[in-house]
Chain A
Amino acid sequence: MSSTTQTAARAELIDPRGQRFAAVITSGLLAASIILGPGAGLWVLVVQTLAFAAGSLLGLSSSPWGQIYRRAVRPRLGPPTELEDARPPRFAQSVGLGFAVVGLLGAVAGLPALFYVAVGFALVAALLNAIFGFCLGCEIYLLGTRVLAR
């Protein structure tokens, strides 16, 4: 029997390998920020927060890690075999931005526990993406839609 689709039309498409590349850089920076602690690590977190903000608010192509991937890495890899919708990973950038901002607040307000917990959560999400190609945002995108629709 036939197979039918009632899914929506596709929007902006991205190369999923770029997301993975960005997740590796993000993981490295978040880990460095945590190891350096809320003092010295604050500045590393500021850099990653700006990257999250660019990817979330302006679009994934504006993320500095995405730019590096497109200019320096992708030309060596050849074209992608499949493309992905940009919305779920962009949503994931927003989730990362949320955690990063809370982490910044913790560092600035002298609440190291808040810094460690918030940036720790962002690191778990970034590591899952980097190691397993797993997009936490993709998973909670539907849950988010459900909550917002309520």
Chain B
Amino acid sequence: MTGLWVVLVALGVALVFGGYRALTDGRARPVRAAAKADDTPRLHPAQVGESLGSSATFVQFSSSVCAPCRATHTLLAEVTGARPSVAHIDLNAETRLDLVKQFGITRTPTVLLLDRGGAVRHRIVGAARRAEVLEALESMA
């Protein structure tokens, strides 16, 4: 009898947690700018060894190929390919633990959308959704 309850609880936990993730994954969440400009989380081009886009940059944190990382990469490559002023940088989170720590990345894929100055404006955790990506990009203009 105990066992049956344990199985039911485990099923409930899995459904609630998995359902919550299915609903929230891939949404673009705005990152509020700090009161002082200096406190806003910011990425410098030197940290990634590449120049940022002239209007915006997607910085993607990936790990040893999670399938959603590949899907996100394909989506962002397509979106930035059509927009000359937007860059896409795909980083290996496992070798860039410094940045993982700096931005508090907990899982992959996580995408940071930076403005022209490198300040983090949006954060997308989980496989990015096209509509959310485009909306976030538009809100930056």
A residues contacting B by CB (< 8 A) are: 1-8, 10-11, 13, 16, 31, 34-37, 41, 82, 84-85, 87-88, 112, 116, 119-120, 123-124, 127-128, 131-132, 134-135, 138-143, 145-146, 149
Contact = CB atoms under 8 A, between A and B. Distances in A.
A84 B67 CA distance: 6
B92 interface: yes
27 contacts: A2-B81, A2-B88, A4-B87, A7-B69, A7-B91, A10-B65, A31-B7, A37-B2, A84-B66, A85-B64, A87-B64, A88-B63, A88-B64, A116-B2, A123-B14, A124-B10, A124-B17, A128-B17, A131-B15, A134-B18, A139-B107, A140-B107, A142-B93, A142-B106, A145-B93, A145-B97, A146-B101
Contact of B53 (A1, A7, A87): A1
Interface SS of chain A? helix
Given A4-B50, A132-B22, A142-B108, A120 B10 contact: yes
B70 A124 contact: no
Contact of B80 (A2, A119, A145): A2
Contact of A132 (B3, B21, B83): B21
Interface of B: 2-4, 6-7, 9-11, 13-15, 17-18, 21-22, 48, 50, 53, 62-67, 69-70, 73, 76-77, 80-81, 83-97, 100-101, 105-108
Contact of A5 (B9, B73, B95, B107): B73
A124 to B, nearest CB: 5
Contacts of A139: 107
Given A34-B10, A84-B66, A119-B6, 11 more contacts: A1-B53, A1-B80, A1-B83, A3-B80, A7-B90, A31-B10, A35-B7, A120-B7, A124-B17, A127-B14, A131-B14
